[in-house]
Amino acid sequence: MRWDTVLFDLDGTVTDSQEGIVNSVSYALKRLGRGVPSPDMLTTFVGPPLHESFPALCGMNEEETERAIREFRIYFERYGWAENAPYAGMAELLASLCAAGLRLVIATSKPEEFARRVLRHFELAQYFDDICGSRLEDKSSADKASVVRTALMRADVTGHAVMVGDRCYDVAGGHTAGLPVVGVLYGYGGHTELAEAGADAIAANLTELKDILLGS
């Protein structure tokens, strides 16, 4: 077996969170008196930390960004976290990886309390040794490399680990932490983004991901 520990991104990798994130962004922008951009632009909010996305995509200054994040979390706390669903076959994949002896850990830029709530709600938390996310009060903790390093430390990973994610941020964060990265195409990044970021392998679906992780 190539690896004994697998770090999973959450949004776009374990669950399809587009609806909840898009609705939360739309709510925040309306609260700030801004127009809501196209669906394609809204989808690009899935994955990266909000303190990067609001300035980059909406031209917000620091004060506006902080307010937008607060408004985003108001909607997400009430509704957005549940406007979400695991990808079809995800529970079966996670169960098979655990049965094969792999340790599974979540490493997400999403605030940890929301990540835990989502995974418990969909009965997926049982498959993970730890669920590691960012801290609400510390935006630097949402940096993907920081999340990955924290996850490795908290899970006391001493063997061979691999990162799985759907965006270039997952590839960069995993590589910065010294891990190989498997990109997945059923999320929101696409083949070009993942290949240009330097993903070590790319899986089109859960069957291919299972084969890569188990060395089939």
User: Mind listing the pLDDT tens digit for each residue in 168-182?
Assistant: 999 999 999 999 999
pTM of the model: 0.89
- The model's pLDDT over 110-155, given as tens digits with 9 standing for 90+, comes to 999 999 999 999 999 999 999 999 987 777 777 899 999 999 999 9
Residue 1 has pLDDT above 70, yes or no: no
What percentage of the chain carries pLDDT values higher than 90?
Answer: 85
Helical axes 90-99 vs 206-214, angle rounded to 10°: 10
Residue 216's pLDDT band, with cuts at 50, 70 and 90, is: low
Q: Decide if 170 contacts 147 (C-beta within 8 A).
A: no
The CA-based dihedral angle spanning residues 192, 81, 6, 138, taken in that order and rounded to the nearest 10 degrees: 90
Report whether pLDDT(108) > 90.
yes
Active-site residue, 4 included: no
Region 184-193: mean pLDDT is 95
Catalytic residue chosen out of the listed positions 9, 11, 16, 170: 9
CA–CA distance, 3 with 214 (Å, rounded to integer): 8
**More confidently predicted of 142 and 162:** 162
In this prediction, residue 84 carries a pLDDT of 92
pLDDT, position 140:
74
Residue pointed to by tokens 């890569």: 212
33 CB-near residues (< 8 Å, 6+ apart): none
